[in-house]
Amino acid sequence: MDGEDQWTPGGDPGDDSGEDVEPDRMLGWISPDDRLWRHPSESGGPPTGSSTVVMGQPRRPSRTRSGPWIMGGTACIVLALVVTGVVMVTTSTAEHDPGGPTTTVSLTAAPTTEPGGGHPVAMASLAAMMSSIRPSTVVMTIGRSSGTTVTTGLVAESGGIIVTTWAALSGAKSIIVIEPGGSRQVATLVGVDHPSGLAVVRISDDLPAATFDNGDPTAGTGAIAMALELGHPTHESPTPVVYSGTVVSAGQAVAADAVTSTFAATAVRAPLSHDDLGCPLVNGAGHVSGMLEKTVQDGASTISVFLPAGLVLGVAQQLVSSGSVIHGWLGVDTSDTDPTTPTSTYVGAASTPATGARLDSVNPGGPAALNAMQPGDIITAIDDYPVRSSAELTTRLYPDRPGTPVQVTLNRGGAPMTMTVTLAAADPDAQGSNASP
């Protein structure tokens, strides 16, 4: 994430009421309004002005509404459903001005997380994050000969452009998009990019586009994801469900599937499922920092793997403009500076990101050679965004068309260098020309 968007665990900034704690008050007592949980006797129903979405049978037990947290000395098990009360207020057709559509999300419980996982975050901050992303997140029902499945999509551009994973759409005979307000639209497939596993559909309504952030979370920090549940009865608006977890790795390939083994991904220990594919990883500003591509089991816990937001948006834009992705070519063969294999085990401490992509060879006549790049150079950033691994270099360059100028930051013998390189069309005779870089 960019510095100003980085979510850090903790309470509301500037919360300095100045009240003295009375000596006879219970030690450690916190007002119900200031904590992430409350005893059933303290819950008098949803806040005034919010509406509670009545839930039907959840897709799986982890989404069942339960009682208060079970508190222990070293861990807490979160069993509560998170978001109720999605209120849509439309006073103008403008999307982003003060008179435009506004979504308010009321929170009544803590985010769902793995036992002992997650990071504390103030409820007011969490509600603001969800209110920002909710108007741009939709449920999609996918009809197949074998039955109907549910997935999530993100509004990538105005004009009803929605991006999701191809794994969720493959084999679809019909695609219905359920908007935040509950209305339904038939979607048509715009295009698919198989290497990145992304697909784009279009609906007739013009929903507000999400903001995609090129920054990535940092391993060991907290992360928030928002999935959607279908309402019951089914004409109700979808219900947001918030998940909290810890980033296990970022900026590296993850051996979850062919896509995440090729591109850099963000792995988060959080209990999402296959039904949540396409849901957003959300940063502190309410912007998209990733989209769920795959979930894998690591013992008793779940690792949720997200593709970076910059890759998702860049691929979506190319699919809309031309129906396919044509990526530029730098003309290098690379490996990780600190050699690692794609993450296959997630137990233990958060991984330490590699420090860049080392140039093993430079293709004669390619853009890198024309700019005097040499074997042994270590690329550490593209357009000021970090490159921590060979997979992240591929990810940064993949959405850029031939002819796109990019700023390359590299390290040569300990000395940093920056140069502007114009990507070329891939040389079909060059080694490794079928994939970036």
**What are the structure tokens assigned to 358, written together?**
């080392």
- Mean per-residue pLDDT, 120-125: 66
Assign 299 a pLDDT band (cuts: 50, 70, 90). Answer: confident
pLDDT per residue as tens digits for the range 239-253: 899 999 999 999 999
In the predicted model, what is the mean pLDDT of the chain?
Answer: 76
pLDDT of residue 125: 78
- Mean per-residue pLDDT, 189-218: 95
Q: Please determine, for residue 35, whether its predicted confidence score (pLDDT) is greater than 80.
A: no
Distance, in Å, from the CA atom of 376 to the CA atom of 339, rounded to the nearest integer, reads 14
pLDDT per residue as tens digits for the range 58-69: 344 333 333 333
Q: Is the dihedral of CA 285, 135, 264, 267 positive or negative?
A: positive
Domains of the chain (ranges; CATH) run 1-14+45-325 (2.40.10.120), 327-422 (2.30.42.10)
Q: Report the share of the chain in percent with pLDDT over 90.
A: 56
Q: Please determine, for residue 94, whether its predicted confidence score (pLDDT) is greater than 50.
A: no
Beta strands 385-386 and 405-412: pairing type? unpaired
Q: Please determine, for residue 350, whether its predicted confidence score (pLDDT) is greater than 70.
A: no
The beta-carbon contacts of 384-388 under 8 Å, at least 24 apart in sequence, are 384/409, 385/214, 385/215, 385/310, 386/216, 386/251, 387/251, 387/356, 387/357, 388/250, 388/251, 388/252, 388/264, 388/353, 388/354, 388/355, 388/356
Q: Please determine, for residue 389, whether its predicted confidence score (pLDDT) is greater than 60.
A: yes
Q: Report the share of the chain in percent with pLDDT over 70.
A: 65
pLDDT per residue as tens digits for the range 42-58: 444 433 333 332 222 33
Residue type for 120, please?
P
- Mean per-residue pLDDT, 322-340: 90
Residue type for 61, please?
P
Contact 283, 223 (CB under 8 A): no
pLDDT of residue 124: 75
Name, in order, each residue with C-beta under 8 angstroms of 146's C-beta and a sequence gap of 6 or more: none
